Structure 1
Amino acid sequence: MIGYIGTYTKENGKGIYRYELDTEKGEFKSVETAAETPNATYLDIQNDRIYAIKKGKTKGGIATYEIADFETGELRFIDDCLEEGGSGCHLMLTSDQNYLVDTVYGSGEVRLYEVDDRGVVTDRLDVFQIEGDGPHERQDGPHAHFVTETPDRQYLTAVDLGADKLVTLKIEEGRLEKVAECKVAPGSGPRHLVFNETGDFAFIFTELSNEVIGAAYADGVFTPEEVYSALPEDFDDHSQGAAIRKHPNRKFLYVSNRGHNSIAVFKVDEEGKKLERIQIEPTNGDWPRDFNITPDGAYLICAHERSHNLVLFDINEDGTLTRRESEAEVPEGVFVGFL
């Protein structure tokens, strides 16, 4: 199995790494540089294209790559779209493949790009500015951290850590128009979210409070309900929530804690609306910024930004994790994905 790691390039990271996982033996076979590009902190892997966050000296935007060989995972750079402004922290291609959207943490912006017939990002069309702040010292203003399409494919939802809110947007004639917004607990700092299988409920992971917030969803509107901690009850040191992923069978939910350096595992009820925490597993590294689950649901791969290692876990039938001995070195890893 071929996969990719996106990295910072502040120290020894090169941008995009390609790794191979032997799924029969349960071990990493190889890791090598796939593309040298500045601060490829998030990727979207779609068909034969990879879209990557790219940071220039004074500009920010998106780089488009072709997966030139599906056997080896070799990449070929096609073009980039860079304009004045900060680099993004998350991006996604819309389901109609006509647009790409990214979020900018520093400014709290959501930016809309055009994608041409070749599947290449060509122009920035619009910028939506989120407004607000919060009580935490890191909430001096809006900090947009994530954007995704809603399950009904009618809207986009942006998650803002600085303003403690979710903003629902709609693309109208190449512009981003606000539809609704939802406030969550002050100081919680929402970061990422996933939807349940039926699309009527979301689980929002918070960075500042390390919690999962369950929220009902209907026609662009979110209604927060129960809250679940991702940390042990007796832990009172510093930790920050990072990634949230759902298992392909939709029965389990996983989140990573930076600082506590663990992954919390939750069992999802049959209706897909309630959680039960069943495990908190150490990640064997420092600062687990991202992780992902193989499409067959057999393994979880975790990237550590500070200790620069990939760690492999078995996913057991009950959803719990068991760490394998196999590890690989990747500097400043902050995104994990699969071909």
Structure 2
Amino acid sequence: MKTMIVGTYTKKEGHVDGQADGIIALKVDPQTGKIPSQHTVAQVVNPSFVKVSKNGKFLFAVSELGSGDAPSGYFYSFEILKNDSLKKISRLSTEGFAPAHIALDQTGKYAFVSNYMGGVVMVYAINENGSLKKQQRVDLEDPEKSHAHSVTISPDNSQAYIADLGNDKIWIYNFDAEKGILSPHDQVFEALESGSGPRHFTIAGNGKTAYSVNELNSTVSVFEILENGGLKVQQYISTLPEVFSGKNSTADIHLHPSGDFLYVSNRGHNSITAFKVDKNGMLSVLGHFSTQGETPRNFVLSPSGDWLYVANQDSNSIVLFKVDEATGNLDQKAPPYEVKTPVCLEFQ
């Protein structure tokens, strides 16, 4: 059996009726993809994003809190015990509100937390015992408008790309992996179409192409990664069928392990859009697959690439798809599995 960790909402917020008790561990059958059991492993308020350490020994989680809840959001580290239970090691301030994302550098020695409110990105050093130390605070321009939604580290560990939903920019930073410090890249940023709202960002395995899922206009941007680590937009493509006219906001984006397919979640259309990736990294739509639930937030591909799991935030369910590795199409293989307010999925 494999273990999947689920980040959740635990309390009522303006955009969600949180009903979970904290961080949840699911058992997953890697052969059938099915989920035979679940249990709460840590009681954290709004652990809306979770990340397993590179060595598999620790779990990191944000506590997504607003100004009416606490002095700041929080960033946790836990030791993962043999029975999948968690032992708290550290809890540090994120120095902003509504932390929304965690990234790790390629060595696993540093973590990056994006605060949706306040334009603050924090860098933390991860000690050998899993404890955390504040390494650097990065303040983005126009903090009242800025919504830092994610950090993505390049495969060679030399650049960090910060998706700023509020400013419609991908900020580009050099990363010094010896010191754990970010410094502005010569290009500084790549601007997207006004009203795009870049949310999550992913990089192809060859390090030459990158993709941004844009929450506000339901598009994916395709970028050429320049030799110096800069970016240049090559394509915008919609995540929605032409006949759809309702409200929608995109959420998550992942490349298949093969690199041949790209997937995006649509909240409103309530679907996963599958794209074919051609040899130069450009995209074409393969299809739109209903998630059989409301507000699909984050999703995850199994390490083998055989299965895709989607967290339906507002219908308290996780849905399982079989991935056709020849065509990229998705086939729902089981009824939705009940989990309270799931929003982030991570294999341990």
Structures share a fold, TM > 0.5? yes
Q: Following the alignment from structure 1 to structure 2, what is the Cα–Cα distance between the partners of residues 54 and 21? A: 25
Secondary structure, in 3 states, of the residue corresponding to 1:254? strand
1:92 to 86, 95, 103: 103
Once the 2 structures are TM-superposed, how far is the Cα of residue 14 of structure 1 from its aligned partner? 1.9
1:232 to 241, 265, 272: 241
1:212 to 205, 214, 220: 220
Once the 2 structures are TM-superposed, how far is the Cα of residue 148 of structure 1 from its aligned partner? 1.2
Residue 151 of structure 2 corresponds to residue 147 of structure 1: yes
Secondary structure, in 3 states, of the residue corresponding to 1:249? coil
8 Å CA contact 1:291, 1:301 repeated in 2: yes
Between stretches 37-46 and 260-269, larger displacement belongs to 37-46
8 Å CA contact 2:75, 2:94 repeated in 1: no
Once the 2 structures are TM-superposed, how far is the Cα of residue 158 of structure 1 from its aligned partner? 0.5
Q: Following the alignment from structure 2 to structure 1, what is the Cα–Cα distance between the partners of residues 292 and 19? A: 21
Q: Following the alignment from structure 2 to structure 1, what is the Cα–Cα distance between the partners of residues 180 and 330? A: 43
Residue 301 of structure 2 corresponds to residue 293 of structure 1: yes
Residue 232 of structure 2 corresponds to residue 223 of structure 1: yes
Once the 2 structures are TM-superposed, how far is the Cα of residue 54 of structure 1 from its aligned partner? 2.2
Q: Following the alignment from structure 2 to structure 1, what is the Cα–Cα distance between the partners of residues 145 and 72? A: 21
RMSD: 1.7
Q: Which residue of 2 aligns with 1:67?
A: 80
One-letter amino acid of the counterpart of residue 237, structure 2: Y
2:62 to 32, 49, 53: 53
One-letter amino acid of the counterpart of residue 6, structure 1: G
Between stretches 91-100 and 297-306, larger displacement belongs to 91-100
8 Å CA contact 1:132, 1:162 repeated in 2: no
8 Å CA contact 1:145, 1:159 repeated in 2: yes
Gaps of 5+ in 1: 134-139
Between stretches 159-168 and 99-108, larger displacement belongs to 99-108
One-letter amino acid of the counterpart of residue 49, structure 2: Y
Q: Following the alignment from structure 1 to structure 2, what is the Cα–Cα distance between the partners of residues 97 and 296? A: 22
1:29 to 36, 44, 56: 36
Count of aligned pairs? 329
Secondary structure, in 3 states, of the residue corresponding to 2:304? coil
Gaps of 5+ in 2: 12-17
Aligned counterparts, 1:182-201, within 5 A: 182-201=190-209
Q: Which residue of 1 aligns with 2:121?
A: 110
**Residues 15-72 of structure 1: CA deviation (Å, up to 9, x unaligned):** 2111112233332101111111111111111221111112562232311111111xx4
Between stretches 233-242 and 48-57, larger displacement belongs to 48-57
Q: Following the alignment from structure 2 to structure 1, what is the Cα–Cα distance between the partners of residues 261 and 180? A: 37
One-letter amino acid of the counterpart of residue 65, structure 1: F
8 Å CA contact 1:108, 1:131 repeated in 2: yes
Once the 2 structures are TM-superposed, how far is the Cα of residue 188 of structure 1 from its aligned partner? 0.8
Q: Following the alignment from structure 2 to structure 1, what is the Cα–Cα distance between the partners of residues 94 and 48? A: 17
Aligned counterparts, 1:103-182, within 5 A: 103-121=114-132, 123-132=133-142, 141-171=145-175, 173=179, 175-179=181-185, 180-182=188-190
Q: Which residue of 2 aligns with 1:136?
A: none
State the 4+ residue runs in structure 1 displaced beyond 6 angstroms.
none
8 Å CA contact 2:48, 2:64 repeated in 1: no
Secondary structure, in 3 states, of the residue corresponding to 1:260? coil
Q: Following the alignment from structure 1 to structure 2, what is the Cα–Cα distance between the partners of residues 85 and 132? A: 14
Residue 255 of structure 2 corresponds to residue 246 of structure 1: yes
Between stretches 228-237 and 322-331, larger displacement belongs to 322-331
**Residues 300-325 of structure 1: CA deviation (Å, up to 9, x unaligned):** 10001111101111111311001122
8 Å CA contact 1:312, 1:323 repeated in 2: yes
Q: Which residue of 1 aligns with 2:15?
A: none
Once the 2 structures are TM-superposed, how far is the Cα of residue 96 of structure 1 from its aligned partner? 2.7
One-letter amino acid of the counterpart of residue 339, structure 2: V
Once the 2 structures are TM-superposed, how far is the Cα of residue 157 of structure 1 from its aligned partner? 0.9
Q: Which residue of 1 aligns with 2:90?
A: 79
**Residues 224-261 of structure 1: CA deviation (Å, up to 9, x unaligned):** 01111110011111000100011111111100000110
8 Å CA contact 1:28, 1:326 repeated in 2: no
**Residues 275-316 of structure 1: CA deviation (Å, up to 9, x unaligned):** 111110110000001111001111110001111101111111
8 Å CA contact 1:314, 1:322 repeated in 2: yes
Q: Following the alignment from structure 1 to structure 2, what is the Cα–Cα distance between the partners of residues 132 and 225? A: 27
One-letter amino acid of the counterpart of residue 136, structure 2: D
Once the 2 structures are TM-superposed, how far is the Cα of residue 84 of structure 1 from its aligned partner? 4.8
Once the 2 structures are TM-superposed, how far is the Cα of residue 95 of structure 1 from its aligned partner? 2.0
Q: Following the alignment from structure 1 to structure 2, what is the Cα–Cα distance between the partners of residues 175 and 26? A: 40
8 Å CA contact 1:31, 1:328 repeated in 2: no
Aligned counterparts, 1:317-336, within 5 A: 317-336=326-345
Q: Percent identity?
A: 31
Q: Following the alignment from structure 1 to structure 2, what is the Cα–Cα distance between the partners of residues 108 and 96? A: 26
Once the 2 structures are TM-superposed, how far is the Cα of residue 197 of structure 1 from its aligned partner? 2.1
